[in-house]
Amino acid sequence: IEVFHSLHCLNMIRKEIYRDYYADLISMRPFWKIHIEHCLEALRQNIMCTSDLTPLGLEWVNGIMPVFEQPHTCRDFERLRAWAGK
């Protein structure tokens, strides 16, 4: 299921950002860069494919600022995870 691949990729990028903490990954360095590039491309495609159409509001706070706290209608992730585990 693609959502699990996307979460995996997000975790790989997180580990790259905090690579000093994940020093054990240095041994995977040649593969790691290719993996991160793959993950960035996979996430880009996923974002473009799913295209969240929730309006992004604006408010004035010393200039125009986006309001990211818009309500979303989400899928029940725990239910999806339980279904995938069957």
Return the number of other C-beta atoms located less than 10 Å from residue 43's C-beta.
15
The amino acid present at 75, given as its one-letter code, is: R
pLDDT tens-place string over residues 47-74? 999 988 888 888 888 888 888 888 888 8
pLDDT tens-place string over residues 38-47? 999 999 999 9
Quote the pTM value: 0.77
Give the DSSP H or E segment for 58: strand 57-60
Q: How far apart are CA 83 and CA 50, in angstroms?
A: 21
Q: Which two tokens stand for residue 37?
A: 């590039």
Question: For 4-13, 22-31, 58-67, which range has the lowest pLDDT when averaged over its residues?
Answer: 22-31
